[in-house]
Amino acid sequence: MPIVVKTQNAGKGDWAIIELQGDLEVRSNQDMHGQFIGDLYYNKYGQPILIIGHHILQGREQKLDKPFAVLEKSKTNEGERLLETSMASQDVSMLNATTGAERTVLDHTIAQEHKSRQRTEYTVRAVCTKKLIFKSRPKPIIANVAKSV
């Protein structure tokens, strides 16, 4: 069976992606779940500024050439319908009826597809059309001297 990707209500909620070079790490021996990462600011010109620990990064707000959909996977146990049951028994017979390699491949595919009871589904939870990208090297804030007028 094909896996369905549901898209109702996908128009609601434009989520954001923040793209950082490399990986974020936390101090050793600490679980990172829920830990503070950093503060995000924008200057008056709309440029994003991210302060992580004692690092400061200058970024850019950018439209994604190819937007992302956020898919959420779920499994549903469908109630067995009469047709489904008859298909199941038919599939078993089908496997026994195979002759020749090509048929085996096709039959097996069909049988596998129809035997599936647990149905996987995806839902589009959101679409991301913009991102903040921080690709310059982070600077320690101690050396970030403010411009003098």
Partner 1 sequence: MESMEVDESAAQLYVRTPEDVKAIVKHAKLDERQLTQLTQALYFPSADVDSDNLRLLELDGHMLGQIRDGQTLYFKGGQNEKLVLCTDERTYDVKGAEISNSLLLVPDLKFAAATSTSPLKSPRTGNANASLERSLNDSTEDELEVPRTLEQRPVLKVFHEYFECREIKPRFRKLGELLQLTRYSGPENEFCVEQKLLFTFSQLLDTVQCSRGQFMEGLNQYRAIELDGRMRVMEYEYEYRIINMMLGLISENSWALDEVEREETINALKGIAPEDVVAGLFDIYTIPSERCPGKFEYQESLVSRIVAQNILQPGLRFRNEEFMRTWQEVLPEGMSCDLKYLRGLGICDKEGAQPCIRSLAEELLPTNISDRMRALFKTKKRWTMEEMEPYIECFTTPNLSVSTLLAKHARSLTDGGVRYFVSKH
Structure tokens, 74:
């779920």
CA distance 77 to 59: 45
Radius of gyration of the chain measured on its C-alpha atoms: 26
**Is 63 one of the binding residues for partner 1 (CB under 8 A)?**
no
Minimum separation from the CB atom of position 79 to partner 1 (A) = 18
Contact between 134 and 24 (Cβ < 8 Å): no
For residue 114, the Cα-to-chain-centroid distance in whole angstroms is: 28
Q: Which of residues 80-139 bind partner 1 (CB under 8 A)?
A: 90, 93-94, 97, 102-103, 105-110, 112-114, 122, 124-128, 130-132
**Is 10 one of the binding residues for partner 1 (CB under 8 A)?**
yes
Minimum separation from the CB atom of position 120 to partner 1 (A) = 9
Minimum separation from the CB atom of position 55 to partner 1 (A) = 10
Of 24, 31, 21, 32, which Cα lies nearest the Cα of 53? 24
Minimum separation from the CB atom of position 139 to partner 1 (A) = 10
Q: Which of residues 11-50 bind partner 1 (CB under 8 A)?
A: 11, 13, 15-24, 26, 30-49
